[in-house]
A and B are shown apart, each in its own frame.
Chain A
Amino acid sequence: MTHTHEHSECRKLLASLSEYVDGALDESICDVIEQHMGECERCEIVVDTLRKTVELYRATVPAPPVPEDVRARLFLRLELTDFMKAMESD
């Protein structure tokens, strides 16, 4: 892979990449990052894979249900067992 420009620029931009993929940066900073990515394939790959990493986690980590016995003990400890039964039949 070619990477001929001054590497310090990549290092400087690294600190902004998380906010960049969140769309939380000012347009002027986005412009700088995007201009750099146009010239630096390495940073473009880092940004694309960073964005994909966040997307995958947000898309694929499900909310596992609390195990039934854990839930039952929780409601028992909180003296809410009657409400738990009512919720289940609701």
Chain B
Amino acid sequence: MLESTLNVPPGALIAEASPAPPSLSKLQSGDRVEFAQLVDTYSGPIYRLALKIVGHPQDAEDVLQETFIKAFRNLSTFEGRSSVATWLYRIASNEAFMALRRRKPEAVSVDEEIETPDGEQEPVQIVDWCCLPEEELLSSESREHLDKAIDHLAPVLRVVFLLRDIEGLSVRETAEALRISEAAVKTRLLRARLQLRERLSHYYAERLKVEQA
């Protein structure tokens, strides 16, 4: 499958490989070292994103493989209007949502219109837990709770939160990756963050009671 562009001997240029960001011209010229570096750099974030969206290790692995296979196949036609990283996230998000739909046909699509005129749900949990000590906020149990709270978000909110707040994409990059408007990114991000804040507040309020007892 990949033979047509395997034009550099394995291992020959590893020491000279470019650091991030990847060189699009090298990638498009079939530089295997550059592509291997791209895979090495982004396989972690792509796998993490896929796993958090689809929730199953096997599906996440399939998404990971398909992402890089599709990236490789389409490199020649990639115009570079977004960064290579954003482009990879776009492919991965699409693949992950396809996997999610296969497993859960009722699941929504990434571009589903969820913005409603009713505005955001009002915060319910009004407890100031910011004063908890760092070791409490960042305990292994708390970290587990933080991680699980993401899973309760609807997929269309979760993917925006993951790209923006976990992977560190800008609002614009997130919009490019998901092919939605920046306004939609902002709305979904707000909704995701507010929902997470509710869950964390519920959890940390209990910790606060213990702390103050």
Residue ranges of A at the interface with B (Cβ–Cβ < 8 Å): 1, 10-11, 14-15, 17-19, 24, 42, 45-46, 48-50, 52-54, 56-61, 63-67, 70-71, 73-75, 77-80, 82-87, 90
Contacts and interface: CB of A to CB of B under 8 A. Distances in A.
Interface string B160-196: 0000011010010000000000000010011001101
Contact of A42 (B14, B32, B65, B126): B126
A52 B146 CA distance: 12
B43 A45 contact: no
Contact of B65 (A10, A57, A74): A74
B1 interface: yes
B146 A83 contact: no
Contacts of A73: 61, 65
Contacts of B48: 63-64
Contacts, number: 134
What is the size category of the interface that chain B forms with chain A?
Answer: 35 or more
Interface string B69-91: 10010000000000000000000
Label chain B's interface by main secondary structure.
Answer: helix
Contacts of B168: 58
B47 A83 contact: no
A18 B57 CA distance: 32
- Enumerate the 7 nearest inter-chain pairs by beta-carbon distance, A residue then B residue, closest first: A82-B10, A83-B36, A18-B190, A86-B11, A86-B14, A53-B197, A45-B128
A60 B138 contact: yes
A1 B197 CA distance: 19
Contacts of B151: none
A53 B129 CA distance: 10
Nearest to A45: B128
